[in-house]
Amino acid sequence: MASPSVNLVSAYPLAVVQAVLAAVVVCLDIPPLIWHAKQRNFAPVVLILYILLLNFANFVNAIVWPNDDLSRWFSGVGLCDIEARLAVAGSTALPAATLCILRKLANVMDTKHMIVSPTRAQKRRALLIEILLCIGIPVLSMALHFIVQPLRYIVYGISGCTPAMSSTWLSIAFIVLPPLLLTLVDVYYAVLIAFRLRKYRARFDSLLSAASTSKTRFLRLFLLALTFILGVFPIQLWVLLLNWPSHLEPFVWSEIHGLWSWKWIPLVPAFGTVLPDRWIRLACGILVFIFFGLGKEAKDMYMSWAASLGLDKLVRRLRSTSSMLYHSSRSSFGSARRSFSSVKGRKTGLASSMTDRLSNTTTDSTKSTNTGEGTASRASDASDVSIRRLEFAVNSTPVQGHGSGEGESVHQNGVRLKGWKWRSSISFGRKRQMTSPC
């Protein structure tokens, strides 16, 4: 009987893993949050802030409830009241913030209603729309959740605080459907941006410069939103559909909001498992760091922080080391190209010298036919020697003459040899083979 008590008291391995990963994600997402706050990008700030808070809740829950020892569990009063509201708001805040990002990117690619220099009233109106979408909808979802909330909250092992939801049709209308509808609007804007990118790809740079944004920043925002739509939100919707009531009950206010339901807090052991939406929070945090924490702006901010901490020498050393590695790799590649070019040039020069030698020999043999029969015989011997040399060099069979007389045979050997010589040089250059001449 000792082993079950040990398992109940000791922390589960997944509790340690979740706490460590959540802490790492929180630390990694702070620099992108600061950078977007300095740039006054409201929707990305809200998106990263919600992800950061949800992962911080993961970290706290894994530390407070790491095992299934219910007798020692904290009831969660106060903490879970906040986390349950935050979880409900996050289900709509993430797709709503993504909607604001995609809407702004679609307006950048809108050539019919482009505004080069917006006025102060237009900026205020755009900010008001983002506030209504990113903050108004989550606040409304928290208020609507209270209507269908049968319990104060539920506490699971490792996963911690979880909001409760009644099995009524109002729960579907207030909790399940809003994230689904927002995700569908996100898909519409993503398809619209992809269509405009294809249509105005020739004017892409000019459109971005008119909107005072860069290509890398535009693509990072679009790829992050697209990744959320294709990878994260379907899983989140699947989790919501898992909570779909198996049988709907009539909505009765007195039964759902009875006094006994607010006094009773269910404590559910996890048996070493974690709820799926906790992993979705970690995935969102990692994606935020990949798209915004590894860019040039983030690296410059890291360097400035290191310099402010008195690490100037270390920063300069790292920069010089990376520069030396970059230039050494380029120089080694350039020397390899130069050596390859020199070897290729030597091969070409040797082939041309061999061709010139053969041409001179053929010319001498042609001249020797006019001096007499004896001289023609010596020219024929010289031609045969040159043919044998070329045959050894290129591994080819020389073309011999077919004339009746000896002088005519030498002359035709010269003519045939000239045409054969050019064929051999072309084949030699194509195969890129080299053998030493005799």
At residue 56, the pLDDT reads 97
pLDDT digits (tens, 9 = 90+) for 287-297: 889 888 777 77
The most confident of 260-274, 357-371, 372-386, 401-415, by mean pLDDT:
260-274
Class of domain 2-310: mainly alpha
Q: What mean pLDDT comes out for the span 2-19?
A: 73
Predicted confidence band at 324 (pLDDT cuts at 50, 70, 90)?
low
| The pLDDT of residue 100 | 92
The helix (H) or strand (E) run that includes residue 268 is strand 267-268
pLDDT score recorded for residue 63: 95
Query: Is 48's pLDDT higher than 60?
Result: yes
Q: What is the pTM of this model?
A: 0.67
- Of the pLDDT bands very low, low, confident and very high (cuts 50, 70, 90), residue 5 is very low
301 C-beta neighbours (distance < 10 Å), count: 17
Query: What's residue 246's pLDDT?
Result: 73
Output the CA torsion 225→228→234→237 (10° steps). Answer: -90
131, 100 Cβ separation under 8 angstroms: no
Q: Where are the domains of the chain?
A: 2-310, 345-431
Neighbours of 250 (CB within 10 A): 7
pLDDT of residue 145: 95
Q: How many C-beta atoms surround the C-beta of residue 54 within 10 A?
A: 26
Fill in the DSSP letter of residue 399: P
Give the CA radius of gyration of the chain: 39
* Phi (first) and psi of residue 268, to 5 degrees: -115, 120
Strand order from edge to edge, sheet including 160-162: 160-162, 154-156, 267-268
The share of the chain scoring above pLDDT 90, in percent, equals 30
Q: Which residues pair with 161 in a beta bridge?
A: 155
3-state secondary structure of 154: strand
More reliable by pLDDT, 304 or 8? 304
pLDDT (tens digit, 9 = 90+) per residue, 241-274?
776 767 788 888 888 888 777 888 999 999 989 9
Closest CA to 139 of 90, 105, 97, 180: 90
pLDDT per residue over 148-203, tens digit each? Answer: 999 999 999 999 999 998 888 898 899 888 988 998 898 888 888 888 777 766 65
249: left (phi over 0), alpha (psi -120 to 50) or beta: beta
Q: With left for phi above 0 and alpha for psi between -120 and 50, is residue 284 left, alpha or beta?
A: alpha
Among 118-132, 188-202, 372-386, the range of highest mean pLDDT:
118-132
Q: What is the pLDDT of residue 411?
A: 41
Look at residue 98 and tell me whether its pLDDT is greater than 50.
yes
For the chain, the average pLDDT equals 74
DSSP states of 228-261 as a string?
A: IIIIIHHHHHHHHHHTS-SS-B---HHHHT-HHH
pLDDT in tens, 203-238: 556 655 655 566 676 777 777 777 877 776 777 677
> Is 70 exceeded by the pLDDT of residue 416?
no
> 253 vs 357, which has greater pLDDT?
253
